[in-house]
Amino acid sequence: MNRALPTLATALVLAALPACSSGQHASAPSAGAPDNTVIVFAAASLKKTFSQIGDQFRKDNPGASVEFSFAGSADLVTQLTQGAHADVFASADTKNMDKAAAAGLLAGQPVNFASNTLTIAVAPGNPKKINSFRDLTNPGVSVVACAPQVPCGAATQKVETASGVDLHPVSEESSVTDVLGKVTSGQADAGLVYVTDTAAAGDKVTSVPFPEASGAVNTYPIATLVQAKNPALAARFVDFVTGPTGQRILGQAGFGKP
């Protein structure tokens, strides 16, 4: 891509609000949520696993709730700096967490809880015969990627720089789920997503691993926010994510250790 990069103990859930895969809120969490509700802003790539974690919270701890809002990490930081209320922020990279810290949003040090690696998502059976990162530049291959300010986009740029391969995506998306959607809907031949995304998609796509991805692994941090209405409950959510149950669910989804 020839473009510039722009300038913790258990939480409980009665209901996890759904969020659409486009990176926009299906239903934005309420700023007037009661003190027994933890509002979690989380990277789009965490939607399936955090929803499962939420289900486990509800089973273990009836009485409190967690509301989720999933979107691209950069979009979430923008919403937070513009006044959106949340109690916990989980980013798909350290860069956007650092932005939240610089804006004075964090109540303490973030904790790394997972990592993720890029892969190439293609149509089932790989009809375009894409077998390498360089093959994404083959004539007649339409590629879609995350925008550079999004963690998956920054990782893609890092691979481009290291490999000397310059991609020319037909579109740049605000979240990794949008990239995957372009491939599953047939709007693009290939997309740069995380290994967890292709695993969750099942037979809707084929995953094409490439060795260069090992040089652009994203680390996921999570932190409580200064505006949390119930800091102890927010901290318990973070503890659950970083504890045995959360780590088991994340690992089963394909996330690596931080």
Q: From the annotation, which residues make up the binding site for molybdate? A: 45, 73, 176, 194
- From CA 28, how far away is CA 95, in angstroms rounded? 24
Query: What b/e sequence results for 15-36 when a residue is b if at least 16 CB atoms lie within 10 Å of its CB, and e otherwise?
Result: ebbebebebbbeeebeeebeee
- From CA 221, how far away is CA 135, in angstroms rounded? 32
Task: Give the single-character DSSP code of 217.
Answer: P
Cβ 179 vs Cβ 145: under 8 Å: yes
Q: Which helix (H) or strand (E) holds 179?
A: helix 176-184
Please state the φ and ψ torsions of residue 120, each to the nearest 5 degrees: -100, 125
Cβ 235 vs Cβ 139: under 8 Å: no
Cβ 69 vs Cβ 41: under 8 Å: yes
- From CA 55, how far away is CA 189, in angstroms rounded? 35
Tell me the one-letter amino acid at 118. L
Instruction: Specify binding-site residues.
Output: 45, 73, 176, 194
Tell me the one-letter amino acid at 235. A
Please state the φ and ψ torsions of residue 14, each to the nearest 5 degrees: -95, -35
Match 């006044």 to its residue by tokens.
83
